[in-house]
Structures are given as structure tokens and as C-alpha cells.
């Protein structure tokens, strides 16, 4: 099967690497030869976080994508993150080792339905979470991430009405923080939605000194028992700054790799989901990338992200607005 066919059918290049090579060494060599940068989200596997040039949350990754001088950006994250990088850096080659690394939250908001939603709410400012396709961003006034959502919402004058999509948990959280009454799109992330309050509380009962930390994509009852609610980088920083020694982590457990690196003597417990037999708190999309896929991706410079130029130009406006507001607020 040729490479194009493999990519269109499987989403990635399925070629076994040459025998006796050290994949990590070869990746580093290729990266240097091709002037490539590897950007990774906290949710990818630990080995990939270790080989990346930069590991961060969605805001930090988009900031890196906007400023890099590399010719090639390899994104170890999900599709919308690579699209955001391509929107910001159209002259660069943006590669995603597995094109099927999607996002259930972005999927919960198809662009034609979002367009109908926007049209049904005239005179509303449209704020969309970065976990959306470029086509949804093209219908948006300002993008936000979990790190800057409060600042972005507060940048809109109080007398303006807002619609917010697609994550209703983040939307409700920001409504409560800001006192706004944003109209919310009814979407959610299947990973964050699954955390079980009952099982988290049972863990807390067993370890009363443990601090509960949660991502704002979790459901309200989980946020209500949390000692801290924030983005992945906010959660990481909290575990560094807080004097607590045990943390129950209610987000995708990939981030625990960085937490352990920063605080080797502290204990991190992944928050459980409803089903004790299911590793439901793993984001299967983030976990689709592997060292072999990364190697092939750099070697063959595929799979590549392509965007319709009209959509890209429209999507760039709200992404740039987010970066500008964030920079003004020191984020
Ligand atoms: P962050 O903004 O914390 O990186 O979250 C991204 C994400 O996909 C959460 O599920
Ligand atoms: Fe999307 Fe949820 Fe995975 Fe984040 S954890 S990338 S929101 S599916």
C-alpha cells in the first residue's frame, strides 16, 4: 500500500522502521536536518513528551506555533491543535503523526449546526473554545482556551451578550466566575465528563489529606469538591506551589508525567471514572501518537495539515484576537 493510501485509510504511515536503529536518535537527527520543532500536549504519552522541544497546554502550544522559526511543526496533540498551528503559520509545514487524532468535544460541534446557533442569536459576541474545527473558528469572534477563558470573557463589555461553545462545563464554570449569562452550546468532552464524583469522594475518604484538582471540562459536582480548578498548566503549577503531598488529578492522566517530574516526592492519583474496568480517563485520541508514527512522519513529512485558505483567514481573526488579549493580560 502506498503512503497516501495508508494515510487516507489508516490516518498514519504504517511502515516498520529499519531494524537496529534507535528511533529516538533518528528522530533527533531528522529534526535537526529538517529544521523541525516538535510540540506536544501534556496528554500524549510520557516518551513523546520527553522527545518534544516543548510540552504545554493548548494556549502555550498555540503561542509557540505562532512564534517558531522552524520550517516544520510536528504536532503531538489532536487535530484542532495542529489546525490552529497551521492557521497561525501558513508558510510552515504542519504535520500530525496520526490524522485520526480527533477530539470528541470538537466533534460535538459541527460547523453547519454552530452556524445555525450563531444565526439564532444575533447581536451576540461569539466566543469559542479552542477545541473546535477551523470551520467553527471561522464563525467565531474570539477563541479562548481553559487558561484564558475568564480573561477573554471579561474582555467583552458587560452590556454585550455572549454565546459560548462548545463545552458546557467550561461555559458554566466561567458563567459562575464572571456572573455572565452566556448562552451555551451543549457539548462536552467524553474524557472529562466521565469522572465519578462518588469514586473521587471515596478516594478522598481513604486519603483525607489529598487535594482534589480538576480541569474546568469536568462536571460541576466534581469542580465543587475540588481544591483547585484550572487548565492543565494551572493544575501542574498548583501541584508545584501547594504544600500538599497527595493530589487526586481529575483530568487526562498524561499530565501526571510532568507533575511527577516537577515534584518527585509528591503522590499523584488519577481520578477514576464511573466504570472501574475502563481506562476511560485516557484520551484515546491523544494516545494515538507513537514513537514509530513520529519517526515516519518526520521522515516522509506526512501526514500534513491542509486548510482551505478562505476558512484559514477567517479562523485567524479570532485566534489572533485571543493571542492579543492574552498578551495584554500577561498570559
Ligand atoms: P488545556 O487547555 O488545559 O490544554 O486543555 C485542552 C484539552 O483538550 C482539555 O481536554
Ligand atoms: Fe478532546 Fe477531551 Fe481529548 Fe481534550 S481530552 S483532546 S477535549 S477528547
What is the domain partition of the chain in residue ranges?
Answer: 3-100+285-300, 105-189+313-328, 195-270
Assess whether pLDDT exceeds 90 at residue 137: yes
Supply the mean pLDDT for the chain. 96
As a CATH number, domain 195-270 is: 3.40.50.10800
Average pLDDT estimate for 3-19:
95
User: What are the pLDDT digits (tens) for 85-128?
Assistant: 999 999 999 999 999 999 999 999 999 999 999 999 999 999 99
Query: Does ligand 1 lie within 6 Å of residue 296's CB atom?
Result: no
Q: Which ligand is nearest to the CA of 102?
A: 2
Peptide bond into 166 cis (omega under 30): yes
Q: Where residue 281 falls among pLDDT bands split at 50, 70, 90?
A: confident
106 CA to centre of ligand 2 in angstroms: 8
Secondary structure percentages of the chain, helix, strand, coil, to 5: 45, 15, 40
C-alpha to C-alpha distance for 299 and 294, rounded to whole angstroms = 9
Domains 3-100+285-300 and 105-189+313-328 share a fold: yes
Assess whether pLDDT exceeds 90 at residue 273: no
Whether the Cβ atoms of residue 14 and residue 300 lie closer than 8 Å to each other: no
Whether the Cβ atoms of residue 79 and residue 102 lie closer than 8 Å to each other: yes
Whether the Cβ atoms of residue 71 and residue 92 lie closer than 8 Å to each other: yes
Query: Does ligand 1 lie within 6 Å of residue 132's CB atom?
Result: no
Average pLDDT estimate for 35-52:
98
The superfamily in CATH containing domain 105-189+313-328 is: NadA-like (3.40.50.10800)
Does CATH number 3.40.50.2300 belong to domain 3-100+285-300? no
Q: What is the DSSP letter of 250?
A: E
Query: Which pLDDT score, from 0 to 100, does residue 171 have?
Result: 98
Query: Does ligand 1 lie within 6 Å of residue 146's CB atom?
Result: yes
60 CA to centre of ligand 2 in angstroms: 16
Whether the Cβ atoms of residue 15 and residue 296 lie closer than 8 Å to each other: yes
C-alpha to C-alpha distance for 78 and 42, rounded to whole angstroms = 11
43 CA to centre of ligand 1 in angstroms: 9
Ligand 1 atom with the smallest distance to the CA of 192 is: 10
User: What are the pLDDT digits (tens) for 221-252?
Assistant: 999 999 999 999 999 999 999 999 999 999 99
Amino acid at each position: 500500500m502506498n503512503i497516501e493510501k495508508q494515510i487516507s485509510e489508516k490516518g498514519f504511515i504504517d511502515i516498520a522502521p529499519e531494524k537496529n536503529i534507535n528511533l529516538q536518535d533518528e528522530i533527533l537527527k531528522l529534526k535537526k536536518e529538517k529544521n523541525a520543532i516538535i510540540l506536544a500536549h501534556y496528554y500524549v504519552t510520557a516518551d513523546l513528551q520527553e522527545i518534544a522541544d516543548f510540552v504545554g497546554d493548548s494556549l502555550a502550544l498555540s503561542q509557540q506555533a505562532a512564534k517558531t522559526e522552524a520550517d516544520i511543526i510536528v504536532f503531538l496533540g489532536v487535530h484542532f491543535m495542529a489546525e490552529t498551528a497551521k492557521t497561525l503559520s501558513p508558510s510552515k509545514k504542519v504535520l500530525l503523526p496520526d490524522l485520526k487524532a480527533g477530539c470528541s468535544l470538537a466533534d460535538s460541534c459541527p460547523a453547519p449546526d454552530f452556524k445555525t446557533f450563531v444565526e439564532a442569536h444575533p447581536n451576540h459576541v461569539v466566543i469559542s473554545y479552542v477545541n473546535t474545527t477551523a470551520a467553527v473558528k471561522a464563525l467565531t469572534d474570539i477563541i479562548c482556551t481553559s487558561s484564558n477563558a475568564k480573561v477573554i470573557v471579561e474582555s467583552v463589555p458587560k452590556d454585550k451578550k455572549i454565546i459560548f461553545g462548545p463545552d458546557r462545563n467550561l461555559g458554566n464554570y466561567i458563567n459562575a466566575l464572571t456572573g455572565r449569562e452566556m448562552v451555551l452550546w451543549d457539548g462536552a468532552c467524553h474524557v472529562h465528563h466521565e469522572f465519578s464524583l462518588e469514586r473521587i469522594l471515596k478516594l478522598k475518604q481513604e486519603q483525607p489529606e489529598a487535594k482534589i484538582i480538576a480541569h474546568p471540562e469536568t462536571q460541576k459536582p466534581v469542580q465543587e469538591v475540588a481544591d483547585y480548578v484550572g487548565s492543565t498548566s494551572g493544575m501542574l503549577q498548583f501541584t508545584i506551589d501547594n504544600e500538599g503531598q497527595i493530589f487526586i488529578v481529575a483530568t487526562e492522566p498524561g499530565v501526571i508525567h510532568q507533575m511527577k517530574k516537577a515534584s518527585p516526592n509528591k503522590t499523584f492519583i488519577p481520578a477514576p471514572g464511573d466504570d472501574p474496568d475502563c481506562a476511560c480517563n485516557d484520551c484515546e485520541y491523544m494516545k494515538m501518537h507513537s514513537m514509530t508514527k513520529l519517526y515516519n512522519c518526520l521522515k516522509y513529512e506526512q501526514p500534513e495539515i491542509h486548510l482551505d485558505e478562505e476558512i484559514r483567514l477567517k479562523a485567524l481573526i479570532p485566534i489572533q484576537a485571543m493571542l492579543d488579549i492574552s498578551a495584554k493580560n500577561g498570559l
